[in-house]
Structure 1
Amino acid sequence: MTPHVLSGRSHRARERSLSVFLTTFIALGALVMVAPFLWLIVASTHPTRDIFTTPPNVLPGGHFWENLVTLFGSSGFADALRNSLIVSTVSTVLGVFICTAAGYAFAKFTFPGRNAMFVVIIASLALPSQVTLVPLFQMMVTFEWLNSYQSLILPSLAVPFGIFLMRQTMLSVPDELIQAARVDGAGEFRTFVQIVLPTVRPALAACSIFLFLGQWNDFVYPLVVLRTQDAYTVPVALASLQGVSSTDYGALLTGTLVSITPVLLLFLFLQRHFVAGLLAGSVKQ
C-alpha cells in the first residue's frame, strides 16, 4: 500500500475523529442550555411541595391546570399578559420604524453633525439603564404619565443598538439602487418604504426580536412607573407572586413558562431572517 493511500486514510480518520468530538461537544452544550427549560416545563406541572424534592422530579406531574387556574385567577396575570403584549408590540413596530429611518439617515445622507451624533449614540450603549431611571421617572411625573402605556412605550422607541444595527445594514444597500428610484421620480419616503425596506428585511427581523425581547423582559423601569396591579407587565406581575413568608412556586413557574411563549413564537416565526440580519452589513459588496 502506497504512502499516499496511507496518508489519505489517516487524514480521513482524523476528520472523522474531529467530527465526532465536535458533534459530542455541541450536543453536550445544547443539553446544558436546554436543561433549565426542560426543568421549568416539568416543575410547572407539580405543586410547590413536589418541586424541590430530593431526588428532583424528572417526569411531568398532573398539577399544571391547577397552577394555571391559580395564576390567572388571583394574581391579575391575564391583565399583565395583555399589557405586555400591547406595550411590546407597539414599541417594537414603532421602534423598528424609527431605528430603521434613523439608520437610513445616518448611512445615506450627509448633514452637519452626523458623525458627532452617531458617536453619541454609540457612546450611549455603554450607559447602564439605571443611569436614566431617575430622569425618566421625573419626566413621567411632569407629564402625568405614571401608570400608563405611554410611560412604557415612548422612552423605548429610539434604541441605540437598533439604530446602530440598521445603520450598518443600510451601508450595504447600493447607492445606485436609491439613486435609480430618485431618477424615476420616487420621493424620499417612497424610496425608503418601497425600495430600501424590502432589501433589509433580515435586519428588520433581527431588530424586531431584539426590541421585543428587551421590552418584554424589562422589569426595573416598569416597576418604578407602574402603580396599580391592573397596569403591571409580566415581569412585575411575576415578581408580585413572591410572598414575604411563602411563595407558590408552582404558579410562579407556570407564569414563567407562559411568559416565554410569545418570545419563542416570535423567534420561530422570524428565525429564517434572524442570522442573516445579524450578518447584514458585515460584508460590503
Structure 2
Amino acid sequence: MSTTTSHPTRRTAIRWTQLQLHLILLVTSVLMAIPFLWMLFASFKPLDEIFRYPPSLLPEHWTTRNYDTGFAQVDFVRAFANSVTVALSVTVISLLTCAMAAYAFARIRFAGRGILFTAFLCTMMVPPQLTIIPLYIIMGRIGLLDTLWALILPSGLFNAFGVFLLRQYVKGIPLELEEAAAIDGAGRIRTFVTIVLPLLRTPLVALGIFLFLGQWNSFFYPLIFLNSTSNFTLPLVVNQFKGALTSDWGALMAGVTIAAVPMLLVFLLAQRKIVEGIALSGSKS
C-alpha cells in the first residue's frame, strides 16, 4: 500500500522540480533578451528618448530617422555583402579542411600523430593578438593587405577547434564501414567522400554555424587588415558611428540591429542542429 501511494507523490515532486527549472529558464531568458530588445526599440527612438530617465522600453514616438541617417552615411549594402562573402568563404573552406584533418588524425596512423595533434590543440591557447604582427607581415609580403582574402585565408585554412570537434565524431564512426569500402576497392579519398563525410553532416552544420557567427561578428582582424571603406565589413561600418568625442547613438543602434538580426534568425532556425552536433561530438571517445 505504501509503495502504491509513494508513486503519485514522487511524480508530483518530479513535476514540481521540472516546473521550477522551466521558470528559472524563462526568467533567465527574459533577462538575457532585455538588452537586445532595448537595442531594437532604441533604433526607432529619437535621441532624447534614448537617454530619458527613467528609461522606457517602447518608444513614445516611433521614427525611422536613425535608419535613414545610417544608410545615408555609410554603405550598409556593400558592407553586408562583404560580411556575407567573408563569412561564407571561411565557413566553406574551414569545414573542408577541418573534416580532412580530423579524418587524418582519427584514422590514419603516422609517426608523431599524437604529438602533432597535441601541438595542434595547443594553438587554441595562443591569443590572436600574439600572432597578428607576423600574420600582418605575411599578408603584406604576398600582397593581400586591404583585401577580403586577408580575412578568409588565415581563418579558413587553420582551425584547431574545428579539427578537434570533428575528430571526436569521426572516432565514433564504426570502422567496419570503412573496411567494407576497402574490400570493394575504395581508397582513402573515396571512402572519405562517400562514407565519412555524409556521416559528419550534423557536426558539420553545428561547426558551420559557429564559424559563420564568429566571422560575422569579427572586428579585430578586419580592423587590422582593411583600410578601404569599400572593403569594410559590418562591424567596421557600425563602428564609424562612434566617434572619439561624440556618437550618433540612434544610428549606432540601427546599425547594430541590422548586423544582429540576421544572425539571430540563423541561430533560432538552427539551434537544434547546434545542440545535436555538440552533444554527439562530445559523447565520442
Give the structure-1-normalised TM-score. 0.92
- Counterpart mapping for 1:145-184 below 5 A: 145-157=144-156, 158-184=158-184
CA distance in 2 between counterparts of 1:66 and 1:182 reads 65
CA distance in 1 between counterparts of 2:175 and 2:104 reads 13
Instruction: Give the superposition deviation at 1:86.
Output: 0.4
Asked if structure 2 preserves the Cα contact closer than 8 Å seen for 1:42 and 1:61, the reply is no
CA distance in 2 between counterparts of 1:264 and 1:192 reads 33
SS in 2 for 1:79: helix
Q: Which letter does structure 1 place at the counterpart of 2:233?
A: T
Asked if structure 1 preserves the Cα contact closer than 8 Å seen for 2:105 and 2:113, the reply is yes
Instruction: Give the superposition deviation at 1:188.
Output: 2.4
**1:20 and 1:155, CA in 2 relative to 1: closer, same or farther beyond 3 A?**
same
Instruction: Give the superposition deviation at 1:52.
Output: 1.9
Instruction: Give the superposition deviation at 1:280.
Output: 2.2
Q: Is structure 2 residue 225 aligned with structure 1 residue 233?
A: no
User: What is the root-mean-square deviation of aligned Cα atoms in Å?
Assistant: 2.0
In the alignment, what sits opposite 1:50?
Answer: 49
User: What do the CA deviations read for 1:123-181 (whole angstroms, capped 9, x no partner)?
Assistant: 11111111111111111121121110110100001211011111111111111111212
Q: Is structure 2 residue 275 aligned with structure 1 residue 275?
A: yes
Instruction: Give the superposition deviation at 1:77.
Output: 2.5
Instruction: Give the superposition deviation at 1:7.
Output: 4.0
- Counterpart mapping for 1:124-139 below 5 A: 124-139=123-138
Instruction: Give the superposition deviation at 1:218.
Output: 1.3
Instruction: Give the superposition deviation at 1:264.
Output: 2.4
Asked if structure 1 preserves the Cα contact closer than 8 Å seen for 2:169 and 2:284, the reply is no
**1:16 and 1:168, CA in 2 relative to 1: closer, same or farther beyond 3 A?**
closer
**1:169 and 1:80, CA in 2 relative to 1: closer, same or farther beyond 3 A?**
same
**1:231 and 1:18, CA in 2 relative to 1: closer, same or farther beyond 3 A?**
same
In the alignment, what sits opposite 2:206?
Answer: 206
Asked if structure 2 preserves the Cα contact closer than 8 Å seen for 1:64 and 1:254, the reply is no
In the alignment, what sits opposite 1:116?
Answer: 115
Equivalenced residues, count: 284
Q: Matched residues, percent identical? A: 38
Query: Is there any run of 5+ residues in structure 2 with no aligned partner, and where?
Result: none
CA distance in 2 between counterparts of 1:118 and 1:140 reads 26
Moved more, 41-50 or 183-192: 183-192
Query: Is there any run of 5+ residues in structure 1 with no aligned partner, and where?
Result: none
Instruction: Give the superposition deviation at 1:187.
Output: 3.1
SS in 2 for 1:68: helix
CA distance in 2 between counterparts of 1:170 and 1:139 reads 33
SS in 2 for 1:87: helix
In the alignment, what sits opposite 1:219?
Answer: 219
In the alignment, what sits opposite 1:37?
Answer: 36
Give the structure-2-normalised TM-score. 0.92
